[in-house]
Each structure stands twice: as C-alpha cells, then as structure tokens.
C-alpha cells in the first residue's frame, strides 16, 4: 500500500517510504530485544511509543490509520482484568492465600507443590504478573523464617505463574491478544490447553522437589542473618484481608468465566462491564484501583500495533513468509511455528513475538500452539518474562539475590521439558 508523504519532500517513491518504515520497525524491535535503546532512558514501552509517534509524525500512517490498527477489544480485555486483579490485591486476597499455604504443616516438597498449584491456578484467571507481585514478598519471608533455600521457591513461583497463565485466554496479555484477534472459543481453548499445562506444572514440581540441587542447604546457617530477615520484614505489607471486597472480586471473576464459557457475549464487553461493577465502590477510590493498572503495558500494545501495521503495509513480511514457504518452512505447520515462536519469544519477548506472527496464522490450532509456546518460552531466560523480573526485583528487596545463572538452573530444563510435553500433546491431539 502506498502512502502520500506531503511533509517529507525528500522521500520520493514507495521504495523510499518502505526504507523509512523498515528503519523504524528495526529500531523498535532492537529495543524490544535490548529492553530499551542505548544511552537513552527508554524501556520497551517507551521505544514502542516513540516508534508509533515516528510512523505518524513522518506521515507513514495518518492518525486515523494508526487508530484503526489498534485492536481495541484486546486493550479493553487487558484493562478490565487489570481492574479485577487490582480489586483482588486491594482486598488482600493474594497475600492471604499465600500466608494460608505457608502456614500448612508441609514438607519442603509438599510446600513446593502447594505454592506451584496456587500460583498456577491464580495465574490462569488473574494476571501472572500481579500474582508474582503479590506472592513474592510472602514467599521470601516464608523461606527466610523456615531456613529454606529461597531461590528454588521464588524461581518456581515465577515459572508456575507463567505456566499456569497458559491454561486460559485471559491468563496473560499474549493469550488475550491471540484469543481476541483469532476469535478462539474460550471453552475449547481451555479443554485443549489445561491437560498439558497441568502436566507442565507437575514437571516443574518434580524438578524442584527431586531434581539436581533439590537437597541443597539453605544459604543461611542455623539463624538467618539479621540483614536478610530485616530486609524481608522491610518489604511493604500487602493490604489487610477484606472478606467482602475479596468476595466481590471473586464473584465478578466467576461471573466472567461463566460468560466466557457458556455465552456468546463478546469477552471484552463482558469484562468491561465487570470492571465497571468493581469501580462502583464505597471502599476503594477509583484512583486507588487505577494505580494498579499497568499503563505501560497498554502503551506497549498500542505502540506495537501501530508499528507492526505500518510494517505489514510494506508487504515485506508477507514476502518473507512466502520465501520461507518456498524453502519448505510453513508457519501453518506446527513444527516451524513451534520453533519460530520459541525463538522470537526469547529474542524480543513474547508479546512482540505474538504480534509479529499473528497476521500469518490461519487456523485455531495454530493460535493454540502459539499461545502455549510463547508463554512457556518465557521461562527459558531471566529476561524472557516480566513475571521473572518482578520476582527477582522483589527478592532483592528481601535480601535474596537471583541472577541469570540461578534462574537458568530451573528455567532452562523446565522450559525444555514443558515444551516437549506441549509438543507431544499437540501431536497426539492433532
């Protein structure tokens, strides 16, 4: 598609415009890979936003074209579930559940099983990032107080949240995007994804409970160092448990799940109505709830929608896919999509990877494959998932260091094992 660029007299011809688009697109995705741009105070959201501004400011896209490129249903669904998760967090639900699990008289293996199960289940309904944000300080304190090695528990929490979020089309942002764009039925996806996700959580527990390093001693002696315990106690406490507010949030979440499973009501509309019900509160000010909305993630989505739409308009992406097909690599086939999904998710993060691949998918089976693969691939590297980074940052506040090597001890084998499980499941059910 050709664009008129009256504000850019130096650019003559469609080819020149394409080079401008490719330059902006490449810069944005270098930023996705690096997590920002060198010498500039930009994160991924800032890079995506500036890329969108460049596309509009240089006349590549009009403001109307840019607006139409944004998938509004995905943004509404994402925003609405951020509000639901905010309600649950302000009601103290996540911390209360974690403390209840921590108080159980369980062995190390039993405690790991309980935490993995809870984190996985909560992440399937609420945001995996929010679950990690709420549970990490409590798990860190638990490990320090029980003299347990905290790294396996905290890395296991991040991995379980990522794995569990793959079970539904609302568990993480990339699944919301896939479900919205491809119009995947909610119930059909759950039936296809839940069995392999359950097996993957089991594999995670087996590795943490019985794999190499499972019997490693705690990093502290008989008494944890004062600095470690002091740091753990210094972590800001979550809001106290509020039974009524928690019940209100759970009722809305349960109603939304019922709507998704048993009605044809558009998911984004139902979720928006649910968010509106929760904002009608005499207890929590709307600004308090809105402070828990991840506005940067929404900006990242908007920016990437605009940048990707401009790049798609050049036809270069379609040509690249056609060239791959000529070499025998078809994204419609499970194998190539599996490999490309894993690679891209670790190069540029799973949300940008999904945005790049979605326009070239045609079947519901391909959507299911991409949802599972892009989510599980986030466990491979420390920077592969925002949930991983949240756990690392909060663990540091508690005096617990988790570097990329410590994460890789669990992340690499668990990712490879879970991808094998999903591959086998998809082949068996094809």
Is residue 219 predicted with pLDDT exceeding 90?
no
Q: What is the mean pLDDT of the chain?
A: 87
Each domain of the chain, given as residue ranges in start order, spans: 1-69, 71-296+314-429
pLDDT band (50, 70, 90) for residue 144: confident
Two tokens, residue 235? 């972590």
What mean pLDDT do residues 121-130 have?
90
**Taking Cα atoms as reference points, which of 248, 263, 74, 271 lies closest to residue 172?**
74
**Taking Cα atoms as reference points, which of 347, 361, 351 lies closest to residue 294?**
351
Among 30-34, 217-221, 240-244, where is mean pLDDT lowest?
Answer: 217-221
H/E run at residue 22: helix 14-34
What pLDDT shows up at residue 99? 86
Is residue 231 predicted with pLDDT exceeding 50?
no
CA–CA distance, 317 with 313 (Å, rounded to integer)? 9
Would you call 262 exposed, middle or buried from its count of C-beta atoms within 10 A (0-12, 13-18, 19+)? exposed
Is residue 240 predicted with pLDDT exceeding 80?
yes
Is residue 7 predicted with pLDDT exceeding 80?
no
Is residue 102 predicted with pLDDT exceeding 90?
no
CA–CA distance, 178 with 171 (Å, rounded to integer)? 12
CA–CA distance, 8 with 23 (Å, rounded to integer)? 16
Is residue 421 predicted with pLDDT exceeding 50?
yes
What mean pLDDT do residues 222-247 have?
58
What pLDDT shows up at residue 148? 86
Tell which phi-psi region holds residue 13, choosing left (phi > 0), alpha (psi between -120 and 50) or beta. left
- Express each pLDDT in 379-413 by its tens digit: 998 878 888 888 998 898 888 889 888 899 999 99
pLDDT band (50, 70, 90) for residue 230: very low
**Taking Cα atoms as reference points, which of 33, 211, 201, 229 lies closest to residue 124?**
201
Among 27-31, 32-36, 87-91, 210-214, where is mean pLDDT lowest?
Answer: 210-214
What pLDDT shows up at residue 4? 46
CA–CA distance, 237 with 140 (Å, rounded to integer)? 12
**Rounded-to-10 torsion of CA 62, 65, 71, 75:** 30
CA–CA distance, 134 with 144 (Å, rounded to integer)? 17
What mean pLDDT do residues 226-255 have?
71
**Taking Cα atoms as reference points, which of 6, 351, 391 lies closest to residue 178?**
351
Angle made by CA atoms 221, 227, 232, in degrees to the nearest 5? 95
- Select the more confidently predicted residue: 354 or 212: 354
What mean pLDDT do residues 203-216 have?
82
Task: Give the torsion sign (CA, 93, 134, 238, 126).
Answer: negative
What pLDDT shows up at residue 110? 93
- Tell me the percentage of the chain whose pLDDT exceeds 90: 54
What pLDDT shows up at residue 323? 86
What mean pLDDT do residues 72-76 have?
94
What mean pLDDT do residues 63-79 have?
94
What pLDDT shows up at residue 328? 80
Q: Which residues contact 253 (CB under 8 A, 6 or more apart)?
A: 84, 88, 125, 126, 274
Place of tokens 């086939």: 333
What mean pLDDT do residues 220-235 have?
40
What pLDDT shows up at residue 224? 41
Could you give the maximum distance between any two Cα atoms of the chain, in Å?
A: 74
Query: pTM of the prediction?
Result: 0.86
Q: DSSP letters along 56-95, please?
A: HHTTSS-HHHHHHHS-HHHHHHHHHHHHHHHHHHHTTHHH
- Select the more confidently predicted residue: 315 or 368: 368
pLDDT band (50, 70, 90) for residue 321: confident
What pLDDT shows up at residue 228? 40
What mean pLDDT do residues 216-244 have?
53
Is residue 13 predicted with pLDDT exceeding 50?
no
Does residue 154 contact residue 400 with C-beta atoms inside 8 Å? yes
What mean pLDDT do residues 254-272 have?
95
CA–CA distance, 304 with 25 (Å, rounded to integer)? 9
DSSP code, position 218: P
Does residue 133 contact residue 140 with C-beta atoms inside 8 Å? no
- Express each pLDDT in 167-193 by its tens digit: 999 999 999 999 999 999 999 999 999
Residue 220, SS3 per DSSP: coil
- Express each pLDDT in 291-313 by its tens digit: 988 899 899 999 999 999 999 88
CA–CA distance, 44 with 303 (Å, rounded to integer)? 10
pLDDT band (50, 70, 90) for residue 216: low
- Select the more confidently predicted residue: 165 or 2: 165
What mean pLDDT do residues 12-21 have?
70
CA–CA distance, 177 with 80 (Å, rounded to integer)? 14
Q: Which residues of 174-279 form beta strands (DSSP E)?
A: none
Place of tokens 């995506």: 48
Q: DSSP letters along 2-16, please?
A: ----TT-TT--SHHH
What mean pLDDT do residues 24-28 have?
94
What mean pLDDT do residues 264-273 have?
94
Two tokens, residue 197? 């996700």
Is residue 213 predicted with pLDDT exceeding 70?
no
Two tokens, residue 70? 């944004």
């Amino acid at each position: 598609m050709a664009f008129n660029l009256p504000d850019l007299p130096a650019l003559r011809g469609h080819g020149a415009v394409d080079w401008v688009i490719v330059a902006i697109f490449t810069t944005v995705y270098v930023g996705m890979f690096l997590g920002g741009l060198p010498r500039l105070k930009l994160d991924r959201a800032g890079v995506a936003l500036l890329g969108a501004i460049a596309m509009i400011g240089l006349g590549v896209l009009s403001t109307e074209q840019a607006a139409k490129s944004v998938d509004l249903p995905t943004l509404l669904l994402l925003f609405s579930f951020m509000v639901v998760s905010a309600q649950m967090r302000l009601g103290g639900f996540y911390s209360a559940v974690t403390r209840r699990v921590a108080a159980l008289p369980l062995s190390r293996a039993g405690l790991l099983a309980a935490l993995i199960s809870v984190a996985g289940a909560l992440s399937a309904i609420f945001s995996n990032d929010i679950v990690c944000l709420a549970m990490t300080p409590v798990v860190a304190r638990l490990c320090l107080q029980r003299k347990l090695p905290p790294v396996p528990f905290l890395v296991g929490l991040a991995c379980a949240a990522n794995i569990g979020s793959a079970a539904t089309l609302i568990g993480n942002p990339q699944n919301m995007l896939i479900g919205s764009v491809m119009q995947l039925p909610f119930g059909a996806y759950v039936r296809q994804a839940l069995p392999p996700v359950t097996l993957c959580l089991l594999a995670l527990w087996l590795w943490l409970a019985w794999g190499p390093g499972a019997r490693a001693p705690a990093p502290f002696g008989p008494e944890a160092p004062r600095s470690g315990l002091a740091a753990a106690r210094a972590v800001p406490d979550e809001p106290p448990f509020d039974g009524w507010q928690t019940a209100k949030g759970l009722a809305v979440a349960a109603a939304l799940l019922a709507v998704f499973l048993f009605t044809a009501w558009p998911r984004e509309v139902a979720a928006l109505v649910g968010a509106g019900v929760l904002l009608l509160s005499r207890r929590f000010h709307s600004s308090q709830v809105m402070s828990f909305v991840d506005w940067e993630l929404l900006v990242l989505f908007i920016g990437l929608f605009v940048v990707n739409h401009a790049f798609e308009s050049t036809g270069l992406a379609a040509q690249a896919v056609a060239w791959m097909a000529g070499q025998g690599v078809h994204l419609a086939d499970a194998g190539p999509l599996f490999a490309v999904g894993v690679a891209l998710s670790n190069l540029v993060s799973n949300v940008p990877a999904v945005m790049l691949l979605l326009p070239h998918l045609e079947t519901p089976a391909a959507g299911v494959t991409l949802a599972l693969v892009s989510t599980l691939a986030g466990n491979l590297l420390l920077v592969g998932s925002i949930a991983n980074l949240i756990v690392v940052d909060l663990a540091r506040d508690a005096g617990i260091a988790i570097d990329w090597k410590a994460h890789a001890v669990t992340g690499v084998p668990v990712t490879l094992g879970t991808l094998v499980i999903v591959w086998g499941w998809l082949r068996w059910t094809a």
